[in-house]
């Protein structure tokens, strides 16, 4: 059984970090900087110089940015990465950018599905450290959304994006692995994996999810230790 007093102290520190603008902004800047750096490195590896320069320029604007501005910088970087992803894929994949609820093409279906899996892992990792998964420092608290888990998800999106491109370019995931609703069918269905597609996805996803789990354990522990410091501070 966990020590209740320790849990209370840790969460008090977390709430302080979330509620005090200076602390929350500092953590949010570090998060966005880390995410954009991962995206920049991947673009460099792909030889997409112009896209890499664009993300690098966005990184240079993080310095004194407040949280609303950080959201804008992160969104701009994401659009640059999606354009880069589209340039690496044949036109047959019909990917031209992000869309959701429901995803309209296979790439967006994988982005949404992968994000959900990462989110579930993040919730588990943070819960094991007795942190409040609903109290995020970057994503604002919202009913029914584990905002702190979504904070963690942001740090793993570049890994997901790179994973998807790798699987498609290697031919591990095929167009036949998806069902697309008919033009006159229910819009709510969107593009989905077939059962065969899910099998192909998880065959290659398993190794990545184990790596992500280890990284999340270290990161959630780091956040828990920071929460204790905020309480003592």
Which residue, among 6, 2, 11, 3, has the nearest Cα to 230 in the 3D structure?
11
The structure tokens listed for 31 are: 């998060």
Task: Read off the tokens for 124.
Answer: 């588990």
pTM tops 0.85, yes or no: yes
pLDDT for 75: 94
Instruction: Give the three-state DSSP class for 192.
Output: strand
Task: Check pLDDT > 50 for residue 211.
Answer: yes
For residue 165, the 8-state DSSP code is H
Give 142's strand partners.
145
- Cis peptide bond upstream of 102, omega within 30: yes
Tokens at residue 48, please? Answer: 């997409």
Long-range CB pairs of 194-201, under 8 A, 24+ apart, other chains included:
197/173, 200/172, 200/173, 200/174, 201/110, 201/113, 201/167, 201/173, 201/177
Q: What is the pLDDT of residue 64?
A: 87
Considering the chain, what is the average pLDDT of its residues? 89
Which of the four pLDDT bands, split at 50, 70 and 90, describes residue 91? confident
Q: Considering the chain, what percentage of its residues have pLDDT values greater than 70? A: 92
Given a cut of 60, is residue 1 above it in pLDDT?
A: no
Q: In terms of pLDDT, which residue wins out, 97 or 116?
A: 116
Assigned token pair, 220:
């959630």
In this predicted structure, which of 2-11, 58-67, 134-143 has the lowest mean pLDDT?
2-11
With CA atoms as reference, report the closest residue to 130 among 57, 19, 225, 18. Answer: 225
More confident residue, 144 or 18: 18
Q: For residue range 23-78, list pLDDT tens digits in order.
A: 899 999 999 999 999 999 999 999 999 999 999 999 999 998 998 899 999 999 99
Q: Once rounded to an integer, what is the mean pLDDT over residues 153-162?
A: 96
Percent of all residues in the chain with a pLDDT value above 90, rounded to a whole number: 68
**Per-residue model confidence (pLDDT) at position 159:** 96
- Return the bridge partners of 145, or none: 142
The reported pLDDT for the residue numbered 43 is 97
Between 15-19, 59-63, 93-97, 186-190, the lowest mean confidence (pLDDT) is in: 186-190
Please tell me which residue, 185 or 104, carries the higher pLDDT value.
104
């Amino acid at each position: 059984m966990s020590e209740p007093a320790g849990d209370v102290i840790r969460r008090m520190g977390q709430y302080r970090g979330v509620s005090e603008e200076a602390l929350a902004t500092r953590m949010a800047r570090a998060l966005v900087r880390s995410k954009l750096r991962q995206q920049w490195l991947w673009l460099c590896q792909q030889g997409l110089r112009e896209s890499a320069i664009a993300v690098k320029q966005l990184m240079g604007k993080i310095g004194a940015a407040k949280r609303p501005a950080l959201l804008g910088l992160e969104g701009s970087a994401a659009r640059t990465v999606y354009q880069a992803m589209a340039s690496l894929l044949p036109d047959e994949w019909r990917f031209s950018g992000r869309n959701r609820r429901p995803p309209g093409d296979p790439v967006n279906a994988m982005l949404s599905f992968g994000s959900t899996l990462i989110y579930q892992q993040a919730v588990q990792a943070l819960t094991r450290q007795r942190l409040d998964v609903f109290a995020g420092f970057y994503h604002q608290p919202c009913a029914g959304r584990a905002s702190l888990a979504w904070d963690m998800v942001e740090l793993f999106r570049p890994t997901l994006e790179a994973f998807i491109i790798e699987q498609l370019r290697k031919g591990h995931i095929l167009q036949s692995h998806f069902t697309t609703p008919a033009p006159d069918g229910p819009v709510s269905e969107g593009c989905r994996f077939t059962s065969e597609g899910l099998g192909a996805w998880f065959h290659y996803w398993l190794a990545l999810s184990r790596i992500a789990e280890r990284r999340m354990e270290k990161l959630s522990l780091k956040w828990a230790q920071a929460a204790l410091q905020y309480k003592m501070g």
